[in-house]
Structure 1
Amino acid sequence: MRYTLLAASIGLCFSGQLFAATYQLTELPSFSASTDSTVVDANESGDVVGRATGLFNLKIDTTYIDFNDDNLKADYNNFKEAQEKIDDPIEFTLDDIENNNATATDVDAHDFMRAYLNQRSGNAEFQKLNSSAGLIYSTTTADEKVIFDVERAYTNNELSRSVVTYINGVASDGSMVGWGSAPYSKRTDFVKNDESEPTVFFERAFSSRGVFISPGGEVIELPPAFVGEYGGFSVANHVERLDDGTYLVVGQSSIDVAIDGQQRFDDLCKGENEPVNVCVWELQNGSIYYNRHAYQWKLDANFNIIEGESKLLGLGIEREENEERVHLGTALAVNQSGYAVGHSQTRKDGNFISRQRAGYYKDDKFTQIIEHNEGYEASRSLDINNNNIVIGYRFNELSTFQQVKGYYYNIDSKTVTEMESFSNGSGMYPRDINDAGYIVGQAEVEDIGDSPRREAFIYNTANAELLNLNDLIPCKRDDFTYRVGDAVKITEDNRIYAVATKTVKRRDSLGNVTKNSAGEDEFESVSVPVLLTPINGEPEQCPAEEAETYERSSASFGMLGFLALPLLMLRRRRK
């Protein structure tokens, strides 16, 4: 999708000019067949990619289900009792599901079977469902980009909806990268040992394969360094189009089967009570099967992979003699100079650290940039600009992410700067940085029990000023119910692509608008993609009841504070 804005629409630019920073919010198209739509990345020209979640009307295959199974009957009775307790009794029976296609017409039956299958997502004898899709935005629509999914007979010749699809990055010319899993096929010919009748299994060829998508829409697979017999593993996270017309793609690739993974395969995968590739799938679900390292693919201007320049990027750890554990590293972004950032396992004082640490890859070497004292501490590097400034966050990885702190790191000066959040102890998650040094992301603004509310921010590395983007958009009103929860991309002219919530009519899992007991439409909050465009003007003075009540520790939000934010000079576009 291209949202091209004239320079005049973002203000007059000259060195030192100040302005009252406000943003115009434009909602981008949403995917009509899902609850939520989000933006993941965008380029300077306005090509935007994203993701849909909560797909409606997933097709459920019941032909192989044993409706006399005691577990199924118990689940049905529990569901029925739970609905009766809230005065919302169900109207379907198990016989309706088996013989009357109730999952296609009765939303309660559909919800029940989806929950039943989700509880058995680790069991290959049951259909696999995924309610998400990768999106490419046009000016008027959000269109699904199918990578590996196919139509299956068991879903009435519609897409299997059994795959995971991510489109993670878009280059300056509209080329894109991402990854997807293989679709599940329904196998009906496998007979277990000591049984006479076949058992149905759902199996797939691989768990993850990176892809490059040309501006014309052609999907080019990015093979892993090691494929093996069961598909290998590759993920593409970011693409950079270089000045010579070639492309750098970074991500992660399998390099071999881990020693302990091979031992478990030898012990368990004998093809006696399940197909061998199903056993491998179970091993991959239970633990990491492959050693997976940061990887780079290089493509020429005609989208051909250049084998000699597609390579492993390095690792923060060397394998010791007789060491059997899995080793992991990944790259999440790369700049024009070929610096890739990500994270890797490391050692400290000779001791293996399972938590991965932030760093950058260059010249086949991983350099750690965040120092840690304890083994439970971890960090991530998420993005890098063309001035070699890296952004990311650090955290203590105990039961959950705790004490999450944002940072930026200058590769040239080897200095780390910790970013102050909205209050002491509130988490901060930087997402993107432009060449001017403006960072956007998400930060916690107030505690609501165990789930602190997170809102989008913009941070200026020149003066450490942190602003909540919700303070720079119009106040909430009946026809403007947006709350910007995450900012994922900032362009060189300071446009921000973000994810907001707004109130809409609630739809059930079949896509129908729901009603309450009085027959009135119900409403819910959903995620939508938005574009924030800087404009000249005064920030609105919201009513007291809508003003934020948390204390901002890192910026003054009086008029002088707003006037102190300079309008960005129009700079060279980041490729």
Structure 2
Amino acid sequence: MKYSLLAASIGLCFSGQLFAVTYELSELPTNENTKHTYVMDANESGVMVGRATELFNLPIDVSYIDFNDSGIKNAYDSWKRNLELRDETIDFTLEDIEKNNAAATNADAHLFMRNFISTRSNNPEFQKLNSGIGIMFSTTSADEKVLFDANRDYTNGLSRSTVQLLTAIASDGTAVGWGTAPYDQIEFQKKDESENTTFFQRAHASRALLIKPNGETVELPGSFSDDYGSFSIATDIKKLDDGSYLVVGQSAVSVEKDSEDRFNDNCKGEDEPVAVCVWQLQNSGYYDLRAYQWKLDANFNIISSETKDLGIGLTREENEERIHVSSALAVNKAGVPIGQSQTREGDDFIIRQRAGYFQDGTFKPVVEHDKGYESSRAIAINDNNVIVGYRMDEFTTGSFVNVKSYYYDIDNSEYKEIASFYEGSDMYVRDINNAGQIIGQAEVEKNVSVPRRDAFLFDKATNQLSNINDLLPCKSADFPYQVSEAIKITDSGNIYAIATKTVKRKDSLGNIMKDSNGNEEFESVAIPVLLTRNSSGTPAECAPDEAETYERSSASFGGVIALLSAPLLMLRRRRNKK
């Protein structure tokens, strides 16, 4: 399954609803060092890869921070003021952090520093933190797989500054993914200044790699390389019948003139290291990117003659200086890559991203667009050449609007949209198996500020749409799960999904949290689950909804969760720690 943002929130069974229990749910292993664990892909043998987020006890270096600077003083005063508005008291000072390393021992101080640093994520003079890790599952554990991270002196261990994503797994357990390089802490003297300034810089933005079943890694080189790491990602892998492997993703193919001009104008090595300047340019779009394919033989040697740029849906015009982008998200055993690409309409009208497939170096769109703000994605393809994906009208205020899922049969040129649970219900498809069963996530509540999203199962043959939670036992103390998103469906019909479950709340250091009365607190977390069909399921009538305040008030989760967004959202009452 390709990488996607995963969302989850708590809900209860619809009151008085009668249904047949057709699936059994098994809770999969979770990573004990993080708050949320997600499955990203699985093969028919049940071997999985995934991701975990909100890593506890992130290492925070304060040695380079000027605690007399107005920025951190104002942040502290705002933090303290927000507590006082709720009749709460702050239990640390900036001096405690600077001189006594309070951020390593006091969870509230640690949370404050994480928030402060995260608000400066675009500033190269501050430490970079990432709380997400790649996960390799076994039958009993969900263990971290370190991709490109490395030990750094300023953290006394792994830098915890890298993005690490395992995106797909082949039938024999060979996995692919991508990761960023760890940040180095360096000293640099700016032009016209006498003292050094601390900077954080990295060697590359993103690099694709393959992980053999024995754990060894093979880097997948992109089409283009430069002194600043270039760019590549791997999103899907298939083991073919002859024992070879087909991997798809995206690669940089060039640096266009617009990027070159910005580099020449800004990256002079005067006010920051050149690598830091390039990092800033990369964050705003620097490389020309193309959907890309790697072919490897049965011994994991790259076959250069079949490793290639898959194409793009437009032709660069003469004197056109901007970058263009296409990407591949999945491939089937027939070797048909699917994804999306920019396309051109009229004289100079470029659609941002349009869903389609790649054939003989050409991009074939499968979704029609007639407005510049529309966009679409092709997410998965089965071995019968049926593509599934979704389209949306626009991207605004951090989310897509009017999201509709579809399937497209390449052999028959047939496009059909899938009717969701109600008019206006956003639906995100995630996978399709060879039997034509389609899964994903869709909104199930109307007229609420934050609609709840549940996992769905759609049968292409019968045109039947089901809320997966309606096919499970009623939510209860013995069955505390709400399945929020279905991620992978195998040809045997097993569904790998994300559910939410109420557990004891932990602070940013990983300690169990208690309220002022000494009572343990609770929160909802994302966990991976496996759903297997139960053909002997009997009807069950769920009880009416009951109030579950701490569950209902829990926020949605994301596959990539921001470190911290705002003090008012993340501040906790001062608590007695266990």
Paired position in structure 2 for 1:264: 262
Checking the alignment, whether the CA contact within 8 Å between 2:503 and 2:523 is kept in structure 1 is: yes
Paired position in structure 1 for 2:464: 465
Separation in structure 2 between the aligned mates of residue 23 and residue 466 of structure 1, nearest angstrom: 15
Tell me the alpha carbon deviations over residues 336-375 of structure 1, each in whole angstroms, 9 at most, x when there is no partner: 1111010000012333314100000111111001111111
Please state whether the residue corresponding to 1:149 is helix, strand or coil.
coil
Paired position in structure 2 for 1:317: 314
Checking the alignment, whether the CA contact within 8 Å between 1:506 and 1:523 is kept in structure 2 is: yes
Separation in structure 1 between the aligned mates of residue 470 and residue 140 of structure 2, nearest angstrom: 28
Determine which of 336, 343, 346 is the counterpart of 2:343: 346
Say if 2:145 is the partner of 1:145.
yes
Moved more, 536-545 or 64-73: 536-545
Rate the CA distance shift 1:389–1:527 in 2: closer, same or farther, 3 A.
same
Separation in structure 1 between the aligned mates of residue 371 and residue 352 of structure 2, nearest angstrom: 10
Say if 2:380 is the partner of 1:383.
yes
Paired position in structure 2 for 1:173: 172
Equivalent pairs counted in the alignment come to 526
Moved more, 352-361 or 249-258: 352-361
Please state whether the residue corresponding to 1:544 is helix, strand or coil.
coil
Say if 2:355 is the partner of 1:358.
yes
Q: CA deviation at 1:20?
A: 5.4
Determine which of 213, 230, 252 is the counterpart of 1:215: 213
Paired position in structure 2 for 1:101: 101
Checking the alignment, whether the CA contact within 8 Å between 2:27 and 2:527 is kept in structure 1 is: yes
TM-score norm. by structure 2 comes to 0.90
Q: CA deviation at 1:168?
A: 0.2
Checking the alignment, whether the CA contact within 8 Å between 1:22 and 1:539 is kept in structure 2 is: no
Paired position in structure 2 for 1:28: 28
Paired position in structure 2 for 1:233: 231
Rate the CA distance shift 1:362–1:194 in 2: closer, same or farther, 3 A.
same
Paired position in structure 2 for 1:433: 432
Say if 2:113 is the partner of 1:113.
yes
Paired position in structure 2 for 1:284: 282
Separation in structure 2 between the aligned mates of residue 545 and residue 67 of structure 1, nearest angstrom: 50
Tell me the alpha carbon deviations over residues 529-571 of structure 1, each in whole angstroms, 9 at most, x when there is no partner: 0000001211321113379xxxxxxxxxxxxxxxxxxxxxxxx
Separation in structure 2 between the aligned mates of residue 397 and residue 208 of structure 1, nearest angstrom: 27
Separation in structure 2 between the aligned mates of residue 199 and residue 542 of structure 1, nearest angstrom: 62
The residue identity in structure 1 corresponding to 2:323 is: V
Q: CA deviation at 1:448?
A: 5.8
Moved more, 533-542 or 290-299: 533-542
Give RMSD over aligned pairs: 1.3
Q: CA deviation at 1:398?
A: 4.2
Separation in structure 1 between the aligned mates of residue 315 and residue 209 of structure 2, nearest angstrom: 29
The residue identity in structure 1 corresponding to 2:86 is: I
Moved more, 104-113 or 394-403: 394-403
Paired position in structure 1 for 2:14: none
Checking the alignment, whether the CA contact within 8 Å between 2:351 and 2:375 is kept in structure 1 is: no
Separation in structure 2 between the aligned mates of residue 304 and residue 330 of structure 1, nearest angstrom: 23
Checking the alignment, whether the CA contact within 8 Å between 1:250 and 1:333 is kept in structure 2 is: yes
Higher relative contact order (CA 8 A, sep 6+): 2
Checking the alignment, whether the CA contact within 8 Å between 1:502 and 1:527 is kept in structure 2 is: yes
Please state whether the residue corresponding to 2:541 is helix, strand or coil.
coil
Instruction: Describe how 1:199-214 pairs up with structure 2 within 5 A.
Output: 199-214=197-212
Rate the CA distance shift 1:350–1:339 in 2: closer, same or farther, 3 A.
farther
Instruction: Describe how 1:147-162 pairs up with structure 2 within 5 A.
Output: 147-156=147-156, 158-162=157-161
The residue identity in structure 2 corresponding to 1:434 is: N
TM-score norm. by structure 1 comes to 0.90
The residue identity in structure 2 corresponding to 1:213 is: I
Separation in structure 1 between the aligned mates of residue 319 and residue 374 of structure 2, nearest angstrom: 26
Paired position in structure 1 for 2:412: 413
Paired position in structure 1 for 2:271: 273
Paired position in structure 1 for 2:575: none
**Unpaired segments ≥5 residues, structure 1:** 1-18, 548-575
Q: CA deviation at 1:88?
A: 2.7
Please state whether the residue corresponding to 2:540 is helix, strand or coil.
coil
The residue identity in structure 2 corresponding to 1:127 is: Q
Separation in structure 1 between the aligned mates of residue 491 and residue 544 of structure 2, nearest angstrom: 34
The residue identity in structure 1 corresponding to 2:295 is: K
The residue identity in structure 1 corresponding to 2:218 is: I
Separation in structure 1 between the aligned mates of residue 447 and residue 114 of structure 2, nearest angstrom: 30
Checking the alignment, whether the CA contact within 8 Å between 2:39 and 2:497 is kept in structure 1 is: yes
Tell me the alpha carbon deviations over residues 286-333 of structure 1, each in whole angstroms, 9 at most, x when there is no partner: x11000000000111111111111000010011000011110000000
Separation in structure 2 between the aligned mates of residue 342 and residue 519 of structure 1, nearest angstrom: 52
Q: CA deviation at 1:84?
A: 2.0
Rate the CA distance shift 1:398–1:527 in 2: closer, same or farther, 3 A.
closer
Paired position in structure 2 for 1:527: 526
Separation in structure 1 between the aligned mates of residue 393 and residue 87 of structure 2, nearest angstrom: 44
Please state whether the residue corresponding to 1:545 is helix, strand or coil.
coil
Rate the CA distance shift 1:534–1:229 in 2: closer, same or farther, 3 A.
same
Please state whether the residue corresponding to 1:68 is helix, strand or coil.
coil
Separation in structure 1 between the aligned mates of residue 293 and residue 373 of structure 2, nearest angstrom: 29
Please state whether the residue corresponding to 2:352 is helix, strand or coil.
strand
Tell me the alpha carbon deviations over residues 79-127 of structure 1, each in whole angstroms, 9 at most, x when there is no partner: 1121122233122111111111100111111011111101110011110
Checking the alignment, whether the CA contact within 8 Å between 2:505 and 2:512 is kept in structure 1 is: yes
The residue identity in structure 2 corresponding to 1:506 is: R
